[in-house]
Every structure is written in C-alpha cells, then in structure tokens.
Amino acid sequence: MFGYNLIGGVGSPTPTVHTNDMTSSGDLGFFAAGGDWLYDADETNSQDDDNWIMMVRPYNPANYGGTPIAYDTSDHSLSEGSDWVLYNQGGSNHSGGGTQLSLDRAFWGMRSSTSGYTAKNYMTDLANDLGSFTNNVAVTTQTERYSAGHRLNDTTGIFYAKSNSQQQIIGTYNGGATTTIAATLGDGPAQYMWDFSSPGGGTEYANLGTANTWVYLNTNNSATFAEGTTRLDMNHCVWDGSAGTAVTKVDRDSVVTLPTHTGSTLAPTILATTWGNILIHFDTSNPGNSVVYPVTWSGTSPTIGSAVPWAGGTQIPSHECYLKGLDGSGIVHNGTKYQCGQDRSGRNVDLYRTCRIYTSGSDLKLDTIDIDFSKPNGEHTLRVRHRGVVTFSSTTDASVWPLFMANNKDLGIWHKDTGKFHYIENAYY
Amino acid sequence: MAQPYDYILAKYIEIGKRESKYIGHSYYLSLSSALEMAKEEFGNTYTGEEYNIAMINSEVYVLENYANNFTRIPD
C-alpha cells in the first residue's frame, strides 16, 4: 500500500493543454518570468508585455544572449522577440547562468575566455521592453571563480562558483544601481554544494525562511555523489546583511547517514517548509528505498527526524518528480522565482504543486501531482492530480522549466529537448 | 588519458547522459563532479588554471555541439 492518492474523475475539470513551438530547440532555459499570470497581488508588472518570459537563447561563442517571449493567456499564443546580447566580455567563448530573484531582477555569473578567463558576478534588472538591462552591475571580478547566480528569496541570491576554486557569495538586490554583497565564504572545496535552501519558517510564497540565512548540502567537502556516498553534511550560514561582512558558517558534518544506494548517483535535495526542511534522498535504481528526512532548527543546530519512506513508493518514484528548487531556491541553472510550486491559495504553503515525468514507450509523459509536506515528522501525502496530461514525443531527456501560475490551477512548462512550451489549464484543479 | 580536458569531458558527458533522464537534474553539478574527479585522478600534475580551462572547454563543447541536450550525444 503506497501513500499516494489518485484524485480527479467525475466532476473534476479536464485539463486543457495549449502547445507552442519555440523557434529553436537549442535554447538554454528561462532566467526570468513575470506578469499577470505569475505575480502575486503585491507584485506589479513594469514590463510592456502582460505575461512574459526571458529565455537564454542558444549558445553563441561570442556572447550570451536572451530572447524575450510574450504569452497571451486569452488565445494562448506565444511570440518570441528579437534576441539581444546579455553579456559580451570579449574572447572566443562564454558561459554562465542567471536566476530571477523577483520581478525583473536577477543574479548572473558570466565569464569569457578573455583576460585569463575572467569571471564576473552581476546584479541586474530588465528594461520594460525586455530588450536590454536597465541596470547591470558587476559586483565582483575574479579569475578562476566561475559562477552562476542562484535565488534564495525575492531580494537575496547566492553566487556559486563550481570552478577550480569554489566560492559562495551572498548578496541582496532590490533593483536599481545599488547592490550589497557579503564577504566570500572563502575559497575551496568546503564551498562545494549539491543544493541549498533556507532553513524554513514563515508563510510567504517562494520566501520561506529567515533573511540572509541559508543551508547547503555536501559530503566531506565534496560535490561528488557517488554510489557509495552515505555521509551528508549540512552547512548553516548567516550573514548580517551589511556590505563586506563575513558570513558565520557552522558545519554540521555527518548529520545524516543516507541509506545505501547502489547504482544511484542522483544527489539529495532540500526544500523549505513553514516548520523547517524536507531533505529528499533519491534512489534511481531502487526507488522503493527513497526516503525523506524532516529537519528542524534551533539556531544553527539541526535536528534530523527519522527517515520516512517516499510516499510515491515504486509507483511514483521520487526521481521522476520535479523537486529540486521547487521551493524557489537552490542550485538551478537558469531559473525563475515561479519554478516554486508552493500553494498560493493562502491555505497551506507546505502543499507543493509539481509534476512527474516518466518513460512511456519511446516518449515521456507528464502527470501533475501535489505533495503535502505540512507535517513536521516528515510524513507526507502525494496526490496524482491528472495522469498523462502531456506527451513529450521521441525523447528521453527530462529537462524542463516549469512555471506555476498565480491562479494555483495552471502550469506552464517548457521541455528543452522538444523545444515546446505547454500551458496546461486546470493542471491542479 | 593524459589531459584533464579529455578526462573531464568524458566524465561530464557520462554523468550528464545518465542524469538528464531524471527530472530536475543539474548539469552544473555534473560539471563540478567531473572536475572533482579529474583533480582526484591527476592531483597536482596540472595547475588550477589548467583544470579550470579544461572544465570550461568541456562545458563549451557540450553547449556548442549539443545545446546541453546530453541525450543527443552519441555513445
């Protein structure tokens, strides 16, 4: 008997799927999205388009570019604007990544091959026509610290360098020309991470947790999650919010001994809740061994509860469910605030809307699901809302960028390999 | 395998092909794991800058040739 339910059926509205093709199948992911379809009542759209997405356009060695996309929810038409150059730092190749904090604001990391592979971190906001940056402030310039920007909450992000010299820098940004960053955590493998989140608390959508506080996961100062890795370390970090000040970090080594996971190398992920965190251990080879751990905090000290079996068991394996970054923070490479699936009805922010993608013949199919993580003992309920809503044809690549709509019912999702954007009405009705 | 670039690229593709079948995977983590494995393999044979350039060139290879669609890379 598994802990999930199939709901829907008689009386439930049937999902309606609207599909649009992108002009390119080589796009690299959303780094911001906004407008009426996504914003909460206290968020105001300053952009010209009512509903918009900023896509990172296909790779170009000379520069990194973006493509503005307008979406009309009345007729479900999608229009792509002209590509524009986000970053051109000179040299013959570039790479990096950016993530939206909120509204038109983002953190970016970018480097090129020029000047000894110089890397810069930026805080930036977009022009109303989505064709340029209004502000694009380089807050650091370094070599060998090759970063991307990652979201913690509406005003705070973390620049994480995975390069030869690992580094994390937290900063705050409210748009405009003013920026604030902390001192770095230092250089080296102690800064490696699989994922991060806030330690939870509060009730605001995509903003759970205490300001300027984050928790990141690794194993013995390593990012490699091998078959034999069972040690999990949690690193608790607090910044006072002042420019240039040091972050207080407390390493909590070996706080969890994960179950053995022979043949599975998908690293754990962490989500914020109103009461703490949910730590999710995947097992791609033996999905029935997947577990979640409840984590509660007293200051910098975590208490790890007993492991609870993943509610989907082997029928809805955890590694087929979109979970990483689902709380609106963590290591996603090019991402938006609205990849956060938390419930927006005001009733239960610990209820996460998400989806499952699984193999069906030579295709992939998508189910919409939700998971209630409101119990601090880690017991959770997984519900299948609609089965097989979308088919991604002739692909085995599960790379997707979801957008969870403000109406709490609809889901937008871009599947990278097929290059299609699907808008699913009543995905969670 | 004598160069960190060959090693990192091979590991990056191996990990990326395996994990891009899982929803929510991160090629960012695949790349850092590949770098870490190379440093374990070769130690101080190469400088930090050489590791960094090898990692960047591996990332750029997959971006430029396969737009980060790992499952399209031939075995």
Q: Is pLDDT of A1 > 50?
A: no
Which residue in chain A has the smallest CA separation from B59?
A95
Give the per-residue pLDDT at A306.
98
If you write DSSP's letter for every residue of A238-266 in order, what string do you get? E--S-TTPPPEEEEEEEEEEPPP-TT--P
Mean pLDDT, all residues of chain A: 95
Number of other CB atoms surrounding residue A82 within 10 Å: 11
Give the per-residue pLDDT at B1.
47
Q: Is pLDDT of A2 > 80?
A: no
Q: Inter-chain contact A165–B48, Cβ cutoff 8 Å?
A: yes
Which residue in chain A has the smallest CA separation from B38?
A164
Q: How far away is chain B from the Cα of A171, in angstroms, using its nearest Cα?
A: 21
Q: Compute the distance between CA of residue A193 and CA of residue B26 in angstroms, rounded to an integer.
A: 12
Which residue in chain A has the smallest CA separation from B67?
A26
The complex scores an ipTM of 0.94
Q: How far away is chain A from the Cα of B3, in angstroms, using its nearest Cα?
A: 16
For B:30-59, CB contacts with A below 8 A are 31-33, 35-37, 48-49, 51-53, 55-57, 59
Q: Is pLDDT of A11 > 70?
A: no
- Chain-centre distance of CA B46, in angstroms? 16
CB of B23 within 8 Å of a chain A CB? The answer is: yes
Tell whether the torsion through CA atoms of A357, B10, A161 and A264 is positive or negative.
positive
CB of B9 within 8 Å of a chain A CB? The answer is: no
Angstrom distances, CA of residue A330 to CA of A151, A292, A307, B17: 6, 17, 22, 22
* Site of tokens 């013995």: A220
Q: Inter-chain contact B71–A332, Cβ cutoff 8 Å?
A: no
How does strand A291-298 pair with strand A301-304?
antiparallel
Q: Inter-chain contact A397–B48, Cβ cutoff 8 Å?
A: no
Q: Compute the distance between CA of residue A298 and CA of residue A307 in angstroms, rounded to an integer.
A: 19
pTM, full prediction: 0.96
Q: Compute the distance between CA of residue A181 and CA of residue B12 in angstroms, rounded to an integer.
A: 31
Tell whether the torsion through CA atoms of A217, A221, A222 and A223 is positive or negative.
positive
**For range A287-294, the mean pLDDT:** 98
**For range A142-171, the mean pLDDT:** 94
Do residues A392 and A417 lie in contact, with contact meaning Cβ atoms separated by under 8 Å?
Answer: yes
Q: Which residues contact A323 (CB under 8 A, 6 or more apart)?
A: A269, A271, A280, A354, B24
How does strand A400-404 pair with strand A179-181?
unpaired
Give the pair of three-digit tokens for residue A409: 């019912």
φ, ψ of residue A349 to 5 degrees: the values are -70, -15
**For range A234-253, the mean pLDDT:** 98
Give the pair of three-digit tokens for residue A343: 């419930």
The helix (H) or strand (E) run that includes residue A231 is strand A231-238
Per-residue pLDDT tens digits for A358-409: 999 999 999 999 999 999 999 999 999 999 999 999 999 999 999 999 999 9
Q: Helix axis angle, B4-19 relative to B27-42, nearest 10°?
A: 140
Per-residue pLDDT tens digits for A299-315: 999 999 999 999 999 99
